[in-house]
Amino acid sequence: QSVLAQPPSASGTPGQRVTISCSGSSSNIGSNSVNWYQQLPGTAPKLLSYGDNHRPSGVPDRFSGSKSGTSASLAISGLQSEDEADYFCAAWDDSLNSYVFGTGTKVTV
């Protein structure tokens, strides 16, 4: 059972902005950095955002992560058809001494 809660789905039309939330606690998001992964159908996950709000090289600036307290969010602006994928938040949990993933959000364009 995931300790980070995400909405199961989100959708938008091309060009719109979509935001995905990730709710945790003081032992994970509240005290450690949040990372986001994109998983396109049939492929391995790809790091989309790390350290709460940093983008790896090559990730478009349409993707932006943020964090406040024990919650985090990923915003996708200028939504494109190739953004259809599953998105997972993740963080280290100090109580579990484990890396924990969110429940995942399926984005439909």
Give contact residues for other proteins (rule: CB under 8 A). 2, 31-33, 35, 37, 39, 43-47, 50-51, 56, 88, 90-92, 96-104
Is 58 in a helix, a strand, or coil?
coil
| Furthest C-alpha separation in the chain | 41
Whose Cβ is closer to other proteins: residue 62's or residue 106's? Answer: 106
Residue 54 beta carbon to other proteins: minimum distance, rounded to whole angstroms: 9
Whose Cβ is closer to other proteins: residue 50's or residue 70's? Answer: 50
Q: Using an 8 Å Cβ cutoff, are 90 and 36 in contact? A: yes
